[in-house]
Amino acid sequence: MKQKSKQKSVPMVVTTERGVFFGYGTPDLEAAHVKLINARMVVYWSADCRSVVGLAANGPTNGCRIGPKVPAILIRNVTAIMKVNDETSKKFEQAPWSR
């Protein structure tokens, strides 16, 4: 019996019609639903991010509002999945909230 190979969990930004989330999951770029671990919701991103794609490319800035972490979340009706690099994920882990 063949065993399924485990894909490595990677940092990603996931969007839906109603929200933007950051967390770690397996990168199935065609999935309709995505499970993220250590997930955070992006409540607001500031204009200096230059769009949600800019947020995924460069990470949140001090003007952004990133919510607290939950252990896991299942996100339904995904509209976009964007892999992010390690530097960007470190910025999300700092969870900036407008001061």
Closest by CA to 42, choosing from 85, 86, 82, 87, is 82
Amino acid symbol at 7: Q
Q: What is the pLDDT of residues 67-91, one digit of tens each?
A: 999 999 999 999 999 999 999 999 9
Q: Above 90 in pLDDT, residue 97?
A: no
Q: What is the pLDDT of residues 16-54, one digit of tens each?
A: 999 999 999 998 888 999 999 999 999 999 999 999 999
Q: Above 80 in pLDDT, residue 2?
A: no
How many whole angstroms separate alpha carbon 59 and alpha carbon 89? 7
In the three-class reduction of DSSP (H, G, I as helix; E, B as strand; rest coil), residue 36 is classed as strand
Report which secondary-structure segment, H or E, holds 13. Answer: strand 10-16
Q: Number of helices and strands (H, E) in the chain?
A: 2, 6
